[in-house]
Structure 1
Amino acid sequence: MTSNESVLPIPQPNRADVKQINVGQKERRNNRRVLGNISNLAPTVVVEAAKATQITRPITRNYHAQLVANAQGAADKNVKIQKPQSETNNGEVALKKQEESPKRRAKKPSKSLTSVLSARSKVACGITLKPKDPVVNIDESDINNELAEVEYVEDIYKFYKLSETEGGLQDYMNSQPELNAKMRGILIDWLIEVHRKFNMMPESLYLTINIVDRYLSMRKVPRREFQLVGISAMLIACKYEEIWPPEVNDLIAISDNAYSREQILVMEKAILGQLGWYLTVPTPYVFLVRYTKASIPSDDEMENMVFFLTDLGLIHYSVIIANNPSKLAAAAVYAARCTLNKTPVWTETLKHHTGYNEDELRDCAKILVSFHASANETKLKAVYRKYVNPEKGAVALFPPARSLLAEVVAGESS
């Protein structure tokens, strides 16, 4: 013991307690038994009182703190009492196993048999929820390309979708007394042939068809001037899109001198005045470029097939009126992926950039596939001749999408 440690007084036992203890000892001494336990007595649980710890050293403050800590630790322990469970033939008593703690007794809730069988059935049938394929950033490779306008491309296409909705075509053929849908198809087929012979940009063809349809929806055109509208519309589109547009004399020659130079220029002025010189319009071409890029993987074969199916749709008046440019472009991409056996047919990336679900495009895609199946048999063969060329991958010779074509045949038979 150090000099700075104080000694605590040792508690003395009370005389009354000592007297009571002596009386208890005398009573036990008088009640002693000769025989011990011969297995004819009921077992009892005897809990002995804790004996007082005998202190043989002075209790300093440090030693007192140690005693308190030991006593607290002993009190925190769970005292497990063994109880007799059964008696054997030999008279031996089997003790019950110690009770488990509440944490060990707590079991996890087991799944019911019905839930287990349902989960296994879903896995077997392929109904389990699969994670969606992520949306791919199709502009990542064009970050350093200033012409790609990556910073504004999403806003640009939002504006295109809004513009096509506001300026959509209405059914105008009933207001044309001398024209019909078949005559329009013949004119568009001829314009596609002229476009191919002059080797123009694809933007010029789509803008030409847009100008023709918008003008016909505003003005009544006699039959004798119908081809003149087509030639003048192509002249306007070429001046807007081409670096070296064809001359008026070239257009006169290719139309077999059906119209004079003055007639073409007058019609050009009349069309521009009627349209208000509004030529910056979202044609199917601007959507085709974007949606084909979103069709990953995108290659020349995929691109040629998409444009082939779109050109087939442009000839038919019912397709142009029923579907706006973005929907026609998205349906062409869907039909092309079905034709080329791309899986999955419609991805989250395409859904994100087109804004269309697979169900919204299926009807239009089936129509385009039916045009593909009869492209070699119809009288209007300009599109077929254009895409049977090896320079276009000869995609016109590919077999049409069987899945969509089967639905078309089933619908016609019913």
Structure 2
Amino acid sequence: MNFAEQKKAAKAFLSRWRGRGDEKQDCQSFWTDLVVNVLGIRYASESIRFEKTVDLGKDAAGRSHTGFIDAYIPDTKVLIEQKGAKIDLRKPALQSDGSELTPYQQAKRYADRMTNDQRPRWIIVSNFQEIIVYDLNASLDVPQVEMKLEDLETEAYRLEFIVDQEKVLAAHQLKVSLEAGELVGKLYDALEKQYEQPMSQAAYQSLNKLCVRLVFCLYAEDSGLFGTKTQFHDYLANRGKAGVGRINTALRDLFRILNTKPEDRDPYEDEDLAIFPYVNGGLFADSHILIPPFTQEAYDLLVNRASEGFDWSEISPTIFGSVFESTLNAETRRQGGMHYTSVENIHKVIDPLFLDELKAAFEALKKSVRGGNNT
């Protein structure tokens, strides 16, 4: 999101929140709206924890007290204390234990009761119309940012520290990739039961190839490689009207088309097949793989859950590739299910081998270009 886009988004946000804001009812929607639509961070709901409890210990009378942090963001160590639209953020208020604290002091008390690994770096207090930011690494009790909601159009960038976009994206991709692996595992199991038992080596090879092809089609559909984001789904749903058991025939026809160049296709091919593109590389070249009849379970997993109910364009190819490989390995799955190699561990291997050197060369190239040397 560039500055102009952010300014426009902030203006729209201001129109939604000007003069309103209930401490209990609107906290979650306010901060989710701000982070997603103004700061441009998708999947905010996966990175912000609302109503996080904190043990405040016992008062003088020996009574235990529990506090509720309005919002907490672990990745960036941000603690948010939200007040209602009419609350003065600089005025002390009576607490449940009898003490009088400003919103910042209340938040600081929460922070002091948290474990070292969770203790915040930043404290934000807000009443929907004003946002005040304190950096606990700097001077205590001195705000680093004081912003009226009316100024958000030009000053939204000052809040970009709230969420680490790369960490949010990585966490979301991990979550989605593991969900995708689980879906493929369930589809694999449903199809495996349809092969003649005991399964031959050729049958297992066919099942693996079938799953690879199905995953390609699911990803191609959602990433725009096919004509529309529902093309694979619509084709299977239309063919499934004649009976889900015949989906295997529909897949054979589709795989044949995907392996045929446009100039080599029958000019009278069915329209719902003719719209699919040619896919080179040999993925669909083997026309002899065994595809068993589909059950309703397998059909629902493929058409309704994997295609219609899931966005394959959001997966991490690195993580999913590792999960997918273990999904296709029957022995690995019997020994404990799916496994994946984390991005961090992958980088531990590839960085010293070649990536560090490439990054250094790239940085040197950028410096030479900035210095006027474009060779």
TM-score bracket, shorter-length normalisation:
under 0.3
Q: Structure 2 length as normaliser, TM-score?
A: 0.25
Give the TM-score, by structure 1 length.
0.23
In proportion to residue count, which structure has more helix?
A: 1
